[in-house]
Amino acid sequence: MNTTRSKVLVSAFSFAPRQSSEAEIGWATVASIAKEYDVTVVSAGHYSELFTLLDFEDLKAKGITVEFHEISCWLWLRKLPNFTHGPRLYYKLWQYHVYDRFRNIVARDGTLFTHHVTWGAGTIYSRLVDLDTPFIYGPVGGHETCSLVISWRFSFVSWVNELIRQTLIRRCQKSKSMRRLAKNTVLIFAANSQTAAAFHSMGAKNVKILSNAGLDQERFASVGGDAISPIPDERIRPQLLFVGRLRAWKGEEIALHALARLKEIPWTLTIAGDGPNRKRCEQLCLKLGIENRVTFKGSTSSEQTLELFKNSDIFIFPSLHDSGGIVILEAMANGLPVICLNKGGPGDMVTKECGIAVTIEDWDQTVDAIAEASKRLLLDAPLRRRMGQAGRLRCANLYDWKQREVTLLESIRKTLRSNVPKHDMPELME
C-alpha cells in the first residue's frame, strides 16, 4: 500500500488558531484537508502575529505548512470601515498580488489540487483557478439577497450599503471572470442553497452544499449532550435572545418592531452584541414603548454568551443574508427554538421541527410573520421544548465539525477520481 501523501495548496487569507468567524473556518477546514493530504497554506501576513511557536510545531506535525503574504503599501485599506469596502478591496488586491507565489508553490510541490477556503465570499475571483491544476472552491457564500424594500426601512446609510452589495452580487454573477471560475472549478462547496443556485446559474457543474459553520463535539458536551437543561414552564416572562453584531442587516430592528406588536404578552428580550446600529436600536425601543423589556448587554465573552443561551427560552435572529450563521447553531445546540428568515444559512439550518423560518415578501408582512412566530412560541412552552430538542439533535447529526469533515473529504475524493489521472493520486488507489 502506497502511503505517500499528495500535496495540496490552500488559499486561506483568514487563517489563525483560537479565533472566530473567517479565521476559524479557515483553520478548521485546513485541519480537515490535512487528515489526508500535506497542505501548504498561504495566508495574509497580519495573521502571523496570532501564532505561537507551539502552533507552528503542531501544524508541522499534522502536515501543514503556512506561508504568509502581505501587501504592506495597501494595509491601510484594511483599517477602513466595512461600509467603505476597504477590506474587500484589499483582499482583491491580495488575490492578484499573490498569484506568482501560488504558481511557484505548485511548480515546487507538484500539487494535486488547489483549494480556496477564505475569504468565504464567493463573489471575488480566486487566482488559484488560473493555475493548470484541479481547483476546488469553498465553502463560500455571499450570493444571498433579499428585497431592498426591507432595508429601505433602515437608516439611509444601511440602505445604500445594501444597494451597493446587491449591485456587486449581480455584477459578479454576470461577469465573464466569475462565470469562467464557475465553469472551470471541479468542485464548489456552497455555504447555502441560495449560493448553490447562483453558481449553477453561472455554469458550475459540480456544486455541493456544505455549511461554512459548525460546532465541535467538545462544545456539544459543554452544553449538556443530548439532554436539555430544564427551564421552568411557568416562567412569568419568557426570555428571548438576540446575539450578533448590531448592523441593520442582522435584523435586530425587525425583531424590535415585531415584538412591539406583542405588548399584551409577557416577554423580555436580551440583545448581546455591539455595533454601529446600537444607538438607533435604543432610540427605536423608546419610540416603540418597549424600553423596559429590552436589555442591551453590549459585547459578551464566549462564557457570558453561553450563560445567556442557558437562561433564555427563544432565539430570535432575523438576519437578511448571513451565509452561515454559527450563532444559530449555538442556539440550537443549547436547546433553543429559533426564529429567523428563510434566507441564507439560517434558512437552511432551521427546519419546521426546530424553529420557524419566515418567508420575506415586504416589510409589514415580514414583521407580522416574525410577531406571529414569536407569539406562538411565547405561549407554548411544550412546543419550545420539542423544537429545542429537535434543534439539538439536528446540530449533532449535521453540523458537527467531524461530520462536516467526512462530507468535505468524501466529496473531494469523489471529484478527484473523475478529474485527476490515477497515477497522480496514490492515496486514492489504496
Top pLDDT among 9 and 424 is at 9
Same domain, residue pair 131 and 261: no
- The 3-state DSSP class for residue 345 equals helix
- Write the CA distances from 28 to 15, 35, 58, 198, 310, integer angstroms: 9, 11, 14, 25, 26
Residue 217, pLDDT score: 54
Same domain, residue pair 188 and 317: no
284-304: average pLDDT: 93
What confidence tens digit (pLDDT) does each residue in 299-329 have?
988 889 989 999 999 999 999 988 888 899 9
Same domain, residue pair 62 and 39: yes
Residue 322, pLDDT score: 85
Q: What is the pTM of this model?
A: 0.85
CATH number at residue 289: 3.40.50.2000
The domain total for the chain is 2
Residue 338 lies in a domain: yes
What confidence tens digit (pLDDT) does each residue in 201-257 have?
999 999 999 988 777 655 554 544 444 444 444 567 899 999 998 998 899 999 999
- Write the CA distances from 146 to 122, 326, 392, 398, integer angstroms: 17, 20, 28, 26
DSSP-H helix ranges across 121-155: 148-151
Residue 219, pLDDT score: 53
CA distance 387 to 393: 10
Residue 168 lies in a domain: no
Residue 429, pLDDT score: 42
- The 3-state DSSP class for residue 218 equals helix
- Write the CA distances from 373 to 244, 351, 411, integer angstroms: 20, 13, 37
What residue numbers bound the domain in which 276 lies? 217-398
> Is the pLDDT assigned to residue 84 strictly greater than 90?
no
Residue 160 lies in a domain: no
Q: From the DSSP assignment, how many helices (H) and strands (E) are in the chain? A: 17, 13
Same domain, residue pair 203 and 278: no
